[in-house]
Structure 1
Amino acid sequence: MSVSLAELAGSCKQSGRVLPPLSESFRKSDKQPFGGYIAYKEFRNLFKDRYVETVTEPFDQEWNVIKDYSNNKKYSLYFLITKNLVLNYSEVNAFMDYVKAGNDLFISADYIDTRLLENINCNNERMAEIVDETKGLMRQTKVSMFFDNNFKAPAYGYYYYPFLNSLSSFDTAFVRVLGVNENNDPNYIILFSGKGRIYLHVAPRVFSNYFLLSGDNYQYIENVISFLRSDPKNIYWDEYYKNASPNRRKSNNGKDDNNFSSLSVIRQHPPLLWAFWLAIIGLLLFILFNVKRKQRIIDVIKPNVNTTVNFTETVGRLYLQKKNNNHIAEKMITYFYEHIRNKYFINTSTINDEFINSLAGKSGVPIETMKRLFALIRRIHSGENIDDATLIQLNNEIENFYKNQS
């Protein structure tokens, strides 16, 4: 029988109870289901005659402090539990130097950085557990120790996402299997390196309050710790890697580790990698089917309309409405003189017989017509009031000039 998170939350809601936080912090002060309060108390009880120092700094910095206290006669124990262990090269090198100096390193994490695994020639098989978690299904699951190279050790179980993480590809000449998951695949090993030991465990939920308070599961942590050497000089309980985010990881030169990127994290999680490639393929298909140029509607551009005549008629009507014939006549004469200057290049500042003869010669208009037109213009300039008949006569004389000019 299996149940999803949504169904579990729904049952809690129907019964009036609130589903507690399920974040996996494993912090020693966290009393929520996946905190590490019980694990820390049990750990202290198992080393009750020893001082346990809490570490809140990255290990490369911590190693610079504690390596002066390391010697070949006495060893130290560094105990680390976290959901995901992400390291930079400086931290990996510090861990390896710590172990080779004769100390013990215990790590329990769902994900262990590949930089560290490459140093010890080991792989972390996570696909099956990730797939089950992605489906959101929970069921009864178990882990057990691997005593005397057989699978008859007692199993410790609870109801949650299954224990399927495992370790593989290690050199059996330097590695001993200490525990297995529900499929009897190794999930807890000891690796001998230099004068020290590395204990790798890939089921950190066994150190949660929820697991340890289920049945007799507290015995499991006793069995896990029983494989550790019992007389360390110094004991360190890690709290830094429970809280540190990947973007705060720095290399020893103070710059960001260039080998750490969002893509590298995606590659380390197969479901995320599948989602990433599906998104890329979808984007490429979208671009492929939309790459054809879509012709936009071209607006019809109307030809420019010559509104000069309309404008002139409008202005003329305004003048006629005001009955200012003198003003209209002056405008007509001004435009007529402008036409003479622009076309025949004759100065219109002085109007006399010489001007009239010159204009008649250039325009081809009869001299009598010219004299009659300019006599009318002089009369208008004299300042007498212009009636409609005179205004019409001026218009006709100017139009007659335009028609007869060459």
Structure 2
Amino acid sequence: MNKTFKIYAVIFIVVMIVFALFEVNKTESTDWRKNFKTTQKSPFGLFVFNNEINDLFKDKIKKINQSPYDYYNQNSKGIHNIIVIEHKIDKQSWNKILDQVSKGSDAMIISGEIPKEISDSIGYYDSKISFEDQNVLKLTDRKYQNDFIVLDKFPSGKGFTFVKPGVEVLGKTVEKGNTDQANFIKTKFGEGTIYVHCEPLFITNYYLLKKGNTKYAQDIFSYLDNKETLWFVESSSKSSQFFLRFILSNPALKYAWWVLLGGLLLFIFFNVKRKQRIVPIIEPLKNTSVDFVKSIGNLYLQEGDFHDMMAKKAQYFLNKVRVDLLIDTQNLDEEFAKKLQLKTGKPMEMIHEAIGFIKKAQDPYANVMKEDLARMNKLLDEII
């Protein structure tokens, strides 16, 4: 196990221990965001309402994941109910909804932010009227006077500060020391009716699960006639396409994912150090002169011209004597033999035998055998 691997192993173990400590010591936190999503079980989600809505509307409810503009362009509907809960809808879709209402359908808008298209069409103004931490929602109809709901967690404080003639107030927000403000209104639009409630918290999980609060929600929706109802919900198509949606929604998988990313970052961090690049293998240059000499030698052997080979060997030897030993080679006499013997230290018999072979090689009429060439080559190599 090398040193680098040990370092990585220690770092990984430390990270895992830190994550484990966080997991053991963490406290479950409540998500108080007002998401109004039908799949969310957080306090301000609509999971409970989504499960109970079929019973509330006697199975005449239909959830639409399309925008109203797309849906009504593809489908022709008679008189029906329309429900929109905290749903951001484009202007063209609102125009489609108003067109359906004008033909006799009823629409119930439950939203803290009333769209301008609706506000301009039915004629009222709304704004934040309260900053209290708690208020009570009540209905004005006498038959519902005993039904109310107390908002004790993050009420929006929204209400209608100005309502034009012809608009009926169905519900109010009641606070200590403040004047009651309208929060639920009804107005005729063409042949149909529009209901607007500006406090959608009453249908969230937190309030519906409290004892006695469901009656208020039932009273609100009782204003809609018993007919087919279309609920335009937020489309989940975009979120379902996100490949990490399931992993991030599961705490165990989410921690595993972050550990994986953390380990990957550590690996990258410790590997950004400059490393020695691989040294390429460079083949040494081949001595082609040796190959050339071998080729020439093989050529001579094939031709059998031993005399010429002896002459070239003798010529090479004498040139080496002149250059390296500085001995005159013009006359191969006794004086030459003595000088060669003194500078090489070889026996005189070897020197004389070599000189004899050199003279034989220089004689163009001499009869040379293969054995003579071999013997001469050996003697000359031994001398120098």
TM-score (norm 1): 0.47
TM-score (norm 2): 0.50
Bigger radius of gyration: 2
